[in-house]
Amino acid sequence: MSEPMRAPKGTFDTLPPDSAQFLAVRDTLTAPLRRAGYGYIETPTFEDTAVFSRGVGESTDVVSKEMYTFTDRGGRSLTLRPELTAGLMRSFIEHRLYAGALPVKLWAVGSAFRYERPQAGRYRHFTQVDCEALGVDDPALDAEVVALAVQGFRDLGLRDFELQLTSLGDATCRPQYRELLVDFLAKLDLDSDTRRRAEINPLRVLDDKRPEVQAQLDDAPLMVDHLSDSTKAHYDAVREHLTDLGVAWTEAPRLVRGLDYYTKTTFELVHSGLGSQSAIGGGGRYDGLSASLGGPDLSGIGYAVGVDRTLLAVQAEGLDIATSAGVQAFVVPLGAEAKRLAVKLVGQLREAGVSADTVYGDRGLKGAMKAADRSGASHAVVLGDRDLAEGVAQLRDLRSHEQVAVPLAELFDRVRATVGA
């Protein structure tokens, strides 16, 4: 026999029953967006490479080191998406969504891919919930987006997370700040790769995690200290709205997100129980992204939250996420005649909105009842030859183990009423 195939290094499979928690986290994170009127969007898992190289930024590690890029049979350079925002903006431009009412509010959920060193909390494929509000530059909208991200974590019951907030300025104040930062970095002992990165985007150096670099940055100028009057007023208004919404934050003047398109409001959500991989989500405003992808000069703000990373945070806090049972009723047939009735009953229950299942294959009572227990059902319907001869079925409570005989003519209504109670 050949060696069994395995998932690629740095990837993983999400399997039942643990996948129920994954789905619960995903759905809880997206619920605030649905309640706020955001519309669902789905874009391809791969895009033209330029969508990310131009949108995310050539100086980022994401573009320079981590993208999965390939040439297709038509000679086109394509890339598996390393994040969702750039692809959503491409779709916003291509389909002229900007021609309608603004802002355009969108949400998405899907896999992204980055070639990284696999470690706890960091994988080469991961799932993100993405939120975008496009076309309007309004600090109240910034606050709404930030609050929606926070609400998802609150709805999960998470407590040990922190919202870190700053402003990265805009085109009116970034150039002057850039000169100050470039002059400061020129005096430091940096390797050639870091200096090259600083020439493209000096802010990236502030995000360098190496201790030997961070040790030299204590006196680095900070963007938040050099905001223009209009940008400072924008940031002040964002914080006022967040206060009104009951959202607390920590000022993080050294915060630099890993993507080049961020301007003005920038934020990250971190969890204290995840060690070095503490970020569970983040985002910000990106006023130049649309124009860089060939669209109109419109602003946008959004965030991405890692479903996998958030699930780790849920587990770190020991939260019991309420998930519905796989099925509510499990039908156990014993014999060919009982099997026909079981299949029919399961179909009727499902059509009526009751989640139901039955046993398949040749199993005796003991094996079938084990399957019923594993299903998570609250009740089992046991159909045996003797019961059918008497015109009844046994309805068993799998929690209390109490059992009652129910006439076949009343079985459907009785099961539906019992498991729905």
- Phi, psi values for residue 120, rounded to 5°: -55, 125
**What is the number of other CB atoms lying within 10 angstroms of the CB of residue 4?**
5
**What is the number of other CB atoms lying within 10 angstroms of the CB of residue 10?**
17
**119: which DSSP letter?**
B
- In the three-class reduction of DSSP (H, G, I as helix; E, B as strand; rest coil), residue 172 is classed as coil
108/129 Cα distance (integer angstroms): 6
**Contact partners, residue 18, CB within 8 Å, separation at least 6:** none
- Residue 83 is labelled as binding a ligand: yes
- Residue 154 is labelled as binding a ligand: no
Residue in this structure with the two tokens 């100028």, named with its chain if needed: 221
- In the three-class reduction of DSSP (H, G, I as helix; E, B as strand; rest coil), residue 215 is classed as coil
- Residue 28 is labelled as binding a ligand: no
**114 Cα distance to chain centroid:** 15
67/61 Cα distance (integer angstroms): 9
What strands lie across the sheet with 403-407, from one edge to the other?
A: 356-358, 329-333, 379-383, 392-397, 403-407
C-beta of residue 146 within 8 angstroms of C-beta of residue 267: yes
**Beta strand extents in 81-157 (DSSP E only):** 104-113, 125-134
- Residue 262 is labelled as binding a ligand: yes
- Phi, psi values for residue 174, rounded to 5°: -65, -40
Task: Please report, to the nearest 10 degrees, the dihedral formed by the alpha carbons of residues 217, 219, 220, 221 taken in order.
Answer: 160
Identity of the residue numbered 298: L
- Residue 114 is labelled as binding a ligand: yes
Write out the two tokens for 137. 């530059």
**321: which DSSP letter?**
-
C-beta of residue 141 within 8 angstroms of C-beta of residue 301: yes
408 to each of 24, 160, 347, 415, how far by Cα in Å? Answer: 36, 53, 16, 11
- Residue 390 is labelled as binding a ligand: no
- Residue 85 is labelled as binding a ligand: yes
Detail the residues annotated as belonging to a binding site for L-histidine.
83-85, 114, 128, 132, 257, 261-262
Detail the residues annotated as belonging to a binding site.
83-85, 114, 128, 132, 257, 261-262
